[in-house]
Amino acid sequence: MKRLTVFPFFIMLAVSISGQSINELRNAESILWLGIDFTEARFEGEYDFGVPGDLTEKLIPGWNQVLLAEPEKFDIASMFNFSKVETDFGLTFKKNESINPENIFLNPTEIEKYSLTPEIIQDIVSKYDLDYNGYALIFIVESYSKTTISGNIWVTFFHVPSKKVVYTKKMAGEARGFGIKNYWTGAVYDVMKACNKQIDKLLED
């Protein structure tokens, strides 16, 4: 997939990583934006996501396609204050195609208990196969809950050559909008805006 490049400057969030890694991340010439990984995501209410098959065949690829189709709205460079962002969703489209639709729906009690961990995030990232010499950003979805009207998403930065996660944080975004696709894309947008507001605080952590 063709990579797109966008510009303004990068000040970055860094938690539980070495000073050297923080400086490398801040001074990176570019960041690779990979989109949304749904491979370990769980969803509440099978029929709230259309007829069987719609979620994996239409909605999951569609949610990433919205980010590509509306770059001015989902502007990673601006929201995260990056100097340069390259965009390549090829990995996430391929990974998401492997999702087993029989294992992704949970009831309200199950979805409330379902949780990823930083260790699971690292395991997910360790299986990525990318040819890029630098840092990447990916959103890894934990769950979409109709009860809480929110999506839980792990905002994750990692060093591509070493596959080492250098920052990951679970954030909740409020779903909003008309239609299933736009409704849950609203949760992603909410997380992006929250990250933008928290940059200074996160940098101090």
With a cut of 90, say whether residue 197 has pLDDT above it. no
The residue among 16 and 77 whose pLDDT is bigger is 77
Q: Which residues pair with 52 in a beta bridge?
A: none
Domain boundaries, the chain: 4-204
Mean pLDDT of 161-173: 91
Give the CA radius of gyration of the chain.
16
Give the integer Cα–Cα distance in Å for 164 and 96.
21
Residue type, 30: S
Q: Given this model, what pLDDT does residue 178 score?
A: 86
What proportion of the chain, given as a percentage, has pLDDT over 70?
82
Confidence class for position 22, pLDDT limits 50, 70, 90: low
Over residues 53-66, the pLDDT tens digits come to 889 999 999 999 99
With a cut of 80, say whether residue 118 has pLDDT above it. yes
Concatenated DSSP letters for the chain? Answer: ---EEE-S-------SS-HHHHHHHHT-S-EEEEEEE-TT-EEE-TTBTBSTTHIIIIIHHHHHHHHHH-TTTS-HHHHHT-S-EEE--HHHHHHHTT--GGGSEE-HHHHHH----HHHHHHHHHT-----SSEEEEEEEEEEETTTTEEEEEEEEEETTTTEEEEEEEEEEE--SSSHHHHHHHHHHHHHHHHHHHHHHHHH-
Confidence class for position 200, pLDDT limits 50, 70, 90: very low
